[in-house]
């Protein structure tokens, strides 16, 4: 088929380019980022504030060089690309966290995210066995088990069901896993970047399941991916009938391969791993599946020695993205008014309030929520501040509509124990030093 050839050609081209950029970037990160985390911050800010790049010939009252030559033809990039000057705004991996590039995670640059929608090229990626490349012509979704009419659907057939578009975040429950014993990485990208938010378009699962007819004893579903990891998860049927969707579009275009092209499951507000990508099969049953059919779940060991088998909901959380270690207050003048802002989210519904502290948690002030406030979505918060140039301990604390508030790390550790990896939704504190540098610290409450 002609289109097939064309597609595989352009894919291999992109792969080549990506590889090149990726290896350069990794070297950069090691040099400036990992060993000198302040260097990483400077790298991402070089365009904005570092005078070294300024050419006075382009500044007023001169006519800048770009105004003297014709621009690029409109078909320059048939698929648009970010400005070349934004080359530092990319996903990044931490090789020592995940030495196998096939079972890896690429963190989203939250420090550069504006508004509540993560651009598709910056959406975090978590793969158990690489990003799977699926030919949509050969794609099929099987729904079987305890249904009256089992079915095999093509992509076109899925698209014929009535569709909905909804904005939801996805967060891996391992987000922030490095930080349980103390602050480790001086970065918002690496401590919170297993998190992104998009507008998803697809079919609410309840429409399809009602159409197929659920048997009275239908209680659980096994959702299985079509990638080489065949990652599968047991999900209670009530959740699927509540707000789960099978989606084929992300921010107005087809899903990206990294997000499960052509079809993934969206389980709003619940653990990232339930959002099965390259969705191949949904089997309806009367009980959850175990090791044979379901790959290892994320369980949580408690101080008592008991473990929680399922902890599905991603609890209320927030982080300040401006300032942050990558966005220091290097050029902020004393007495100058500056916006502090960040992202809050909850898997239980809407964000109802965000409080800000400047003294490591002794006093709290209300931030303003801005823009759309949607359930199980990013919500932006903001506060205007005049800095007196003295060091501050800056943190945000979000509360959601069911009344849950982010705990301190000390409180969370008491409940969860010290061996915790998952569901770390405690308060994140930044130390802003007198020289404007921002560091990841854990406040003692
Ligand atoms: N088929 C399949 N689905 C998958 C995964 C996978 O490896 N294979 N990873 C899961 C995990 S652990 C997470 S956190 C989310 C990440 O979604 P993203 O890569 O779109 O950010 O996808 C989930 N779905
Ligand atoms: Mo995950």
**Of 119, 143, 258, residue with least CA distance to 196:** 119
> What tokens does 421 get?
């990896």
314 lines ligand 1 (CB under 6 A): no
Distance (Å, whole) CA 171 – CA 175: 7
How far is residue 21 from each of residues 26, 88, 108, 265, 413, measured CA to CA in Å?
9, 11, 16, 30, 40
CATH number at residue 229: 3.90.420.10
For the Cβ of 422 lying below 6 angstroms from any atom of ligand 1, the answer is no
In the chain, DSSP finds a helix count (H) and a strand count (E) of 7, 23
* In 394-439, alpha helices (H): 409-416
Is the bond preceding residue 424 a cis peptide, omega within 30 degrees?
no
Neighbours of ion ligand 2 (CB under 5 A): 126, 172, 272-273
Q: What is the CATH number of the domain that holds 388?
A: 2.60.40.650
* CA quadruple 173, 177, 180, 185: dihedral, nearest 10: -140
The per-residue pLDDT for range 360-414, each reduced to its tens digit, is 999 999 999 999 999 999 999 999 999 999 999 999 999 999 999 999 998 998 8
**DSSP letter at 34?**
I
Among the residues of 378-438, which ranges form H helices?
409-416
Indicate the pLDDT class of residue 445, thresholds 50, 70 and 90: low
Tell me how crowded residue 275 is: count the other CB atoms within 10 A of its CB: 26
DSSP state of 337: E
The C-alpha atoms of residue 301 and residue 297 are separated, in whole angstroms, by 12
Is the shortest distance between the CB of 127 and ligand 1 below 6 Å? yes
Ligand 1 pocket residue status of 273, Cβ below 6 Å: yes
Average pLDDT of the segment spanning 29-47 = 35
Is the pLDDT confidence value at 146 over 50? yes
Residue 257 and residue 152 share a domain: yes
Ligand 1 center from residue 61 Cα (angstroms): 52
Q: What is the pLDDT of residue 363?
A: 97
Whether the CB of 298 sits within 6 Å of ligand 1: no
Residue 424 belongs to some domain of the structure: yes
Residue 112 within any structural domain of the chain: no
Q: Which atom of ligand 1 is nearest to the CA of 260?
A: 20
- pLDDT for the residue numbered 178: 87
Of 251, 285, 308, which residue sits at a domain end?
A: 308
pTM to 2 decimal places: 0.88
- CB atoms under 10 Å from CB of 439, counted, come to 16
Residue 104 beta carbon below 6 angstroms from any ligand 1 atom = no
Residues 265, 277: Cα–Cα separation, whole Å: 6
Residue at 301 is within a domain: yes
pLDDT > 90 fraction of the chain, expressed in percent and rounded: 74
φ, ψ at 298 (rounded to 5°) = -95, 100
Cα 424 to Cα 416: distance, rounded to the nearest angstrom: 9
Same domain, 283 and 151: yes
Q: Is 108 in the pocket of ligand 1 (CB under 6 A)?
A: no
Q: Are residues 214 and 136 in the same domain?
A: yes
Q: Is 263 in the same domain as 319?
A: no
- Whether the CB-CB separation of 164 and 245 falls below 8 Å is answered with yes
Name the residue of 125, 127, 226 to mutate for ligand 1: max ligand atoms within 8 A of Cβ: 127
Rounded distance from Cα 246 to ligand 2 centre (Å) = 18
194: CA distance to ligand 2 center in Å?
A: 8
Extract the tokens encoding 126. Answer: 């978590």
Supply φ then ψ for residue 207, to 5 degrees: -65, -45
Half-sphere exposure of 321 (CA within 13 A, CB side): 23
Residue 384: its pLDDT value, please? Answer: 98
How many Cβ atoms are within 10 Å of 436's Cβ, its own excluded? 15
**pLDDT tens, residue by residue, 1-10:** 233 332 222 2
Whether the CB-CB separation of 124 and 249 falls below 8 Å is answered with no
Q: Kindly state whether residues 285 and 329 are assigned to the same domain.
A: no
Q: Are residues 390 and 304 in the same domain?
A: no
Q: How far apart, in whole angstroms, are the C-alpha atoms of residue 399 and residue 345?
A: 9
Q: Is the CB of 193 under 6 A from ligand 1?
A: no
408 within a domain of the structure (yes/no): yes
Ligand 2 centroid–CA 153 distance in Å is 27
Q: Check if 225 has its Cβ closer than 6 Å to any atom of ligand 1.
A: yes
In ligand 1, which atom is closest to the CA atom of 227? 1
Residue ending a domain, choose from 308, 341, 369: 308
pLDDT tens digits, one per residue of 275-293: 999 999 999 999 998 755 5
127: confidence class by pLDDT, cuts 50, 70, 90: very high
Among 269, 261, 271, 264, CA closest to 296: 271
Taking the centre of ligand 2 as the mean of its atom positions, its distance from the CA of residue 57, in whole angstroms, is 49
**Same domain, residue pair 256 and 379:** no
Tell me which of 260, 279, 308 is where a domain ends. Answer: 308
Ligand 1 atom showing the smallest separation from residue 174 Cα: 14
Asked whether residue 298 is assigned to any structural domain, the reply reads yes
C-alpha 118 to ligand 2 mean position (Å): 17
Structural domain of 337: 6-51+313-442
> Ligand 1: which residue has its CA nearest to atom 5?
127
Indicate whether 360 and 271 sit together in one domain. no
215 lies in the same domain as 337:
no
**pLDDT for res 33:** 29
| Domain count across the chain | 2
Q: What pLDDT, in 10s, does the model give residues 212-249?
A: 999 999 999 999 999 999 889 999 999 999 999 999 99
Per-residue pLDDT of 319-361, as tens digits, reads 999 999 999 999 899 999 999 999 999 999 999 999 999 999 9
């Amino acid at each position: 088929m002609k289109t097939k050839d064309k597609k595989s050609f352009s894919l291999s081209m992109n792969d080549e380019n990506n590889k090149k950029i990726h290896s350069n970037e990794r070297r950069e990160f090691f040099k400036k980022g990992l060993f000198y985390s302040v260097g990483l911050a400077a790298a991402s800010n070089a365009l904005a504030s570092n005078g070294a790049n300024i050419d006075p010939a382009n500044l007023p009252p001169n006519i800048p060089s770009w105004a003297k030559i014709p621009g690029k033809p409109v078909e320059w990039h048939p698929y648009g690309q970010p400005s070349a000057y934004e080359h530092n705004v990319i996903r990044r991996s931490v090789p020592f966290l995940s030495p196998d590039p096939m079972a890896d995670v690429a963190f989203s640059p939250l420090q550069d995210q504006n508004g509540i929608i993560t651009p598709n090229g910056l959406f975090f990626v978590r793969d158990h066995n690489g990003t799977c490349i699926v030919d949509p012509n050969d794609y099929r979704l099987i729904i079987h088990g305890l249904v009256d009419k089992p079915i095999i659907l093509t992509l076109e057939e899925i698209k014929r069901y009535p569709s909905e578009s909804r904005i939801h975040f996805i967060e891996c429950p391992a987000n922030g896993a490095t930080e349980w014993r103390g602050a480790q990485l001086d970065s918002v990208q690496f401590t919170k970047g297993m998190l992104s938010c998009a507008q998803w378009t697809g079919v609410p699962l309840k429409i399809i399941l009602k159409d197929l007819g659920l048997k009275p004893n239908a209680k659980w579903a096994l959702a299985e991916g079509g990638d080489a990891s065949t990652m599968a998860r047991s999900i209670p049927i009530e959740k699927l009938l509540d707000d789960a969707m099978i989606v084929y579009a992300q921010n107005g275009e087809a899903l990206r391969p990294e997000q499960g092209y052509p079809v993934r499951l969206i389980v709003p507000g619940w653990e990232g791993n339930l959002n099965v990508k390259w969705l191949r099969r949904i089997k309806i049953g009367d009980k959850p599946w175990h090791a044979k059919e379901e790959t290892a779940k994320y369980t949580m060991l408690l101080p008592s020695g008991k473990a929680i088998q399922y902890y599905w909901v991603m609890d209320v959380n927030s982080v300040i993205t401006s300032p942050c270690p990558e966005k220091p207050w290097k050029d902020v003048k004393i007495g100058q008014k500056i916006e502090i802002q960040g992202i809050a989210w909850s898997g239980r519904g809407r964000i109802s309030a965000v409080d800000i502290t400047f003294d490591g948690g002794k006093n709290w002030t209300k931030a303003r929520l801005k823009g759309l406030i949607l359930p199980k979505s990013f919500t932006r918060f903001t506060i205007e501040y005049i800095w007196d140039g003295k060091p501050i301990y800056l943190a945000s604390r979000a509360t959601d509509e069911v009344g849950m508030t982010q705990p301190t790390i000390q409180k969370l550790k008491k409940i969860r124990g010290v061996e915790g990896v998952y569901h770390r939704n405690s308060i994140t504190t930044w130390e802003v030093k007198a020289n404007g540098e921002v560091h990841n610290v854990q406040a003692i409450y």
